[in-house]
Amino acid sequence: MEKFSEILKKQNFIPLLKLATKVEGQAPQSTGEHIVKILETKEGKKKNYKTGQDIEAIWILVEEKGQKFKYPIPLKDDNGQPHYLLQRLAELPDDKEIILQYVRKGARGYIDARLVGEEIDGIPIIDEEENIDGGF
């Protein structure tokens, strides 16, 4: 509905980056790779999905295909340690595009963060233009 989109734009509304979707009775499904550039970070709060309580978080403002999105990252994990995603993002250069992707591993899932072209869990990323058989 274009009218509602225009209203949200006028209010400077920035939507959440959706890395996974949840369907009742099913495990979360990845929405695929999101190639983003981090524009800004800000400390704030978010709801803990397990407890419903407010927790400290870092909100990142990213740009994907020219559109801005926001995404919250908890400051600490369940053990009180810095959240794994914050640690991973700290390893990556600030000025590069990165891939954020929800990855399912067994019964649990996590958000993978890597540079464009970097491998995920040891699996090489194959460019669509390359031959799958390695060119042989």
- Given this model, what pLDDT does residue 121 score? 60
Q: What CATH class does 13-115 carry?
A: mainly beta
- Given this model, what pLDDT does residue 8 score? 79
Who wins on pLDDT, 11 or 70?
Answer: 70
| In the chain, domain spans | 13-115
Q: What is the pLDDT of residues 91-121, one digit of tens each?
A: 999 889 999 999 988 878 899 999 998 876 6
For the cut 60, the answer to whether the pLDDT of residue 130 exceeds it is: no
CA distance 134 to 93: 29
34-47: strand order across its sheet:
67-74, 54-64, 34-47, 98-105, 108-115
| Structure tokens given for 114 | 């890597």
- Given this model, what pLDDT does residue 116 score? 92
Q: What is the pLDDT of residues 36-66, one digit of tens each?
A: 999 999 999 999 888 889 999 999 999 999 9
Q: What is the mean pLDDT of residues 59-83?
A: 95
